[in-house]
Structure 1
Amino acid sequence: MARDGFLPRSSERRRTTLTVIVITALVGVTVGTLGLASARQQMPAAGGVSAPAAAPQPPTADPVIAVTGLSAAAGSLVGGEQQTITGSGLKAVSAIRIGSMLVADFIATDTSLTFEMPRSERYLPGAVPVEIVASEATIDMASPLEYTYERRTAVDRQLEYAFRYWKDYNLAEWGTFNPVGGDCMNFVSQTLIERGWEMTPEWHSYDVGADYTSPWIYVPSFDAFLRDNPQLGAVQLGLDQRDQAKVGDLVVFDWNNNNALDHIQIVSAIEQVDGRTVVKMVGHNLDSDLRDLDETITVDHPGATGYFWSLPAD
């Protein structure tokens, strides 16, 4: 009779023997499996020959863009002329730069890029590089492209002058009227002289501002002067007609919406931003070169009103 917790010696021997048999069987299965795997690794491919490793593929070459020329090598400071870059593979182009100015929109085919020339930066004359950008192509130019901005039009002369003196006043020639109420109209009058307008008995300033008339320095008087002289060709446009405005046109403001004009500036840029026409202005009194029209009447002077005086191109 076995005591609690103990087996007879014969039972212990049987259990030991059984354990050895099970372990031996498991070892045999494992060895057999390993042998089969080894045999499989050593088996040749069909036909008795091992399959060769795949040959490395050469990298795919980037497409090549070849640029051959420009349809026009020079143009006005204000831009706007139709321009075409010719070559091949041009559909891969993602951007065009003329100097530092990015071309906002262009039409690309395999052999051409067509777009409207942007204005010269700061309305300065001179030669600038023409560059195209393509992230997934190699650009091959026989020679660097260059475009020359030239002072060609009345508006070119007006804007070049405005950007030269919007901050550094031309005191030696015209003086300043800031001490007596503001210089915005005096500055606009100067730019109109550069544009080709001639002084009249009603509109003039002589002797560095010592001899002047009211329309030269005072916005309401100048507004009346334009209305009284239709031969000047100025056309009034509402601010909601900004799509008809042009660089070089004038913008007058009534800050308090009380039918008394307070300020005038020159349109210095017109841009399309997210489907909106954005107008920028240059002028004196809050001296600025690219002042935003909408910010002027909503942030600087909330509730202000105004309108454009659109001027003939020449």
Structure 2
Amino acid sequence: MHSATPEATQEAGEQAELELLAERRARHRAERVRNRRPSSGGARRFMALGCASAILSVSAFGAVAAASAEDETRLAAARDSSAESTANRDVISAPVSIAKRPTVTSGLSTAAVPFTGGAQVTVAGEQLDQVGQVVVGGVAAPIVTATSDQLTFQVPAVADTALGDVAVAFTDAAGTPVAVATPGTATVAGAAAPASLAAQLTEIEQAEVHAPGPSLTLTYTSSPAIDAQVGYVLTHWNSYNTAAYTVLSGVDCANFASQSLVARGWAMEAGWYYDRETGAMSPSWSSSTAMRDWLYSRPDLATPLDDSQRGSVKVGDIAQFDWDGSGDRDHTAVVTRVERSDNGIAVWVGGHTKDADYWNVDEALASGGGSVTYFSLE
């Protein structure tokens, strides 16, 4: 036998090692299950899971971080929007103007008037052409003229027993009370609204709740001249004053009415007179038609009215009747009472021939027919 040389032995070992390595590789590829190494496989799995967890953690943290940043942006935007909304609610860039309503800013031009009515009273203010009604002592007073800054109304008559102070109230076309702001009082009607909404609401509430009510007062007084005239009628309607005047039997109505005007203070003149010494009298003194014509010629003393103008009739005025519709005047009397109610205006007269102290005009027309006209005396 030949002994192997060292070189041959080394070469053979190397070859065997190569073959074994080739075998292991072939088996590793074909027999994966049997080729696993429990100790090294567990370590590799642990490391793989750890890496995956780390990757997921990093990804999740990135997502959470991104979400947090986005939410913070949204919250900041919401805070800005809320602040802007609050600012818009609290501050109005342009003040809102409250529409002006009628307001009386002065006292009455006349503080006292005769109970007979007819006097005209004026007030000043703003938007007064929007006033729909004036009420004096609970009675509607006709509006004579009305402009934006001035209104004039006619005082209604009252009974001679209703003297004293009465309230004067104003309402607009809708019936809403008109504010009265005379010197010394205040009103917010028509004021410009401030910028703050809260202040606007407060001002509107005050305007609605605290707007001044009627504060103007008119005093009805007795008229000495009219008192004397009506007093004469009520004294002598059934007790003729024969000591001073002639009685015209059956046609004494105009004669008696003329006597009452003298008691009122009227002075006789060439066109209207009575001569006590001789008993002579002008036609205008004793004839209803002639009296009408004379009063037509004296607009400084009297203003003619028809029955549709009964609202202007007052105590002491002259009433004349045309019983037959001929156009002449058949009867003359003196107005002794005027009453206004929801049913309308009632007028009473006193006089001679139809001797009466209070004869209702409507009853007179119903019984005698015809028509009635008036002279409103100054």
Deviations 1:86-139 (A, max 9, x none): xxxxxxxxxxxxxxxxxx969xxxxxxxxx996446x9xxxxxxxxxxxxxxxx
- Which of the residues 138, 159, 171 maps onto 2:242? 171
| Aligned counterparts of 2:329 and 2:298: Cα–Cα separation in 1 | 19
Question: Does the Cα contact within 8 Å between 2:116 and 2:315 map onto a contact in 1?
Answer: no
Q: Per-residue CA shift, 1:282-301, capped at 9, x if unaligned?
A: 111110011000111112x1
Separation in structure 2 between the aligned mates of residue 264 and residue 253 of structure 1, nearest angstrom: 7
1:217-228 alignment runs, 5 A limit: 217-228=286-297
Q: Offset at 1:210?
A: 1.3
Secondary structure of the equivalent of 1:212?
coil
Q: CA deviation at 1:230?
A: 2.6
Partner of 1:126: none
The alignment of Structure 1 onto Structure 2 pairs a total of residues equal to: 177
Query: What's the secondary structure of 1:235's corresponding residue?
Result: strand
Cα distance change of structure 1 residues 275 and 202 upon mapping to structure 2, 3 Å threshold? same
- Pair 1:156-2:227 in alignment: yes
Name the structure 1 match of 2:185. Answer: none
* Equivalent of 1:193 in 241, 262, 266: 262
CA contact 1:77–1:156 (8 Å) conserved in 2 = no
2:324 maps to a residue whose letter is: N
Q: Which runs of 5+ in 2 are unaligned?
A: 1-111, 118-136, 140-155, 163-219
Aligned residue in 2 for 1:310: 376
State the shift of 1:77 in Å. Answer: 8.8
Q: Is the 8 A contact 2:314 2:338 kept in 1?
A: yes
Task: Provide the identity percentage.
Answer: 30
Once the two structures are superposed, residues 241-294 of structure 1 have per-residue CA deviations (whole angstroms, 9 ceiling, x without a partner) of 111111111111111001121001111111124421110111111100110001
State the AA in 2 paired with 1:173.
A
Distance 2:297 2:275 in 1: 22
Query: In structure 1, the residue corresponding to 2:244 is in which secondary structure?
Result: helix
Partner of 1:203, secondary structure, is coil
Structure 1 counterpart of 2:343: 275
**Backbone CA RMSD of aligned residues:** 3.0
- The one-letter code of the counterpart of 2:287 is Y
Report the alpha carbon displacement of residue 159 of structure 1 after superposing the two structures with TM.
0.8
Query: 1:246 and 1:152, CA in 2 relative to 1: closer, same or farther beyond 3 A?
Result: closer
Q: Structure 1's 163 and 78: CA in aligned 2 closer, same or farther, altered over 3 A?
A: farther
Q: Judging changes above 3 Å, is the alpha-carbon distance between structure 1 residues 226 and 209 closer, same or farther for their aligned structure 2 residues?
A: farther
Letter in 2 for 1:285: T
Higher Cα radius of gyration: 2
Q: Secondary structure at the match of 1:261?
A: coil
Describe the shift of the 1:242–1:152 C-alpha distance in structure 2 as closer, same or farther (beyond 3 A): closer
Q: Where does residue 264 of structure 1 map in the other structure? A: 332
Instruction: Indicate yes or no: 2:284 matched with 1:215.
Output: yes
Please identify runs of 4+ aligned residues in structure 1 that moved more than 6 A.
none
Contact 1:78–1:155 (CA<8 Å) still a contact in 2? Answer: no
* Partner residue of 1:248 out of 276, 301, 316: 316
Q: For each residue in 1:152-184, what CA deviation from the matched residue of structure 2 results, as whole angstroms up to 9, or x when unmatched?
A: 431111111111111101110012111xx5110
1:264–1:120 distance in 2 versus 1, CA, 3 Å: same
Q: Matched residue of 1:173: which SS?
A: coil
Gaps of 5+ in 1: 1-74, 81-103, 107-115, 124-148
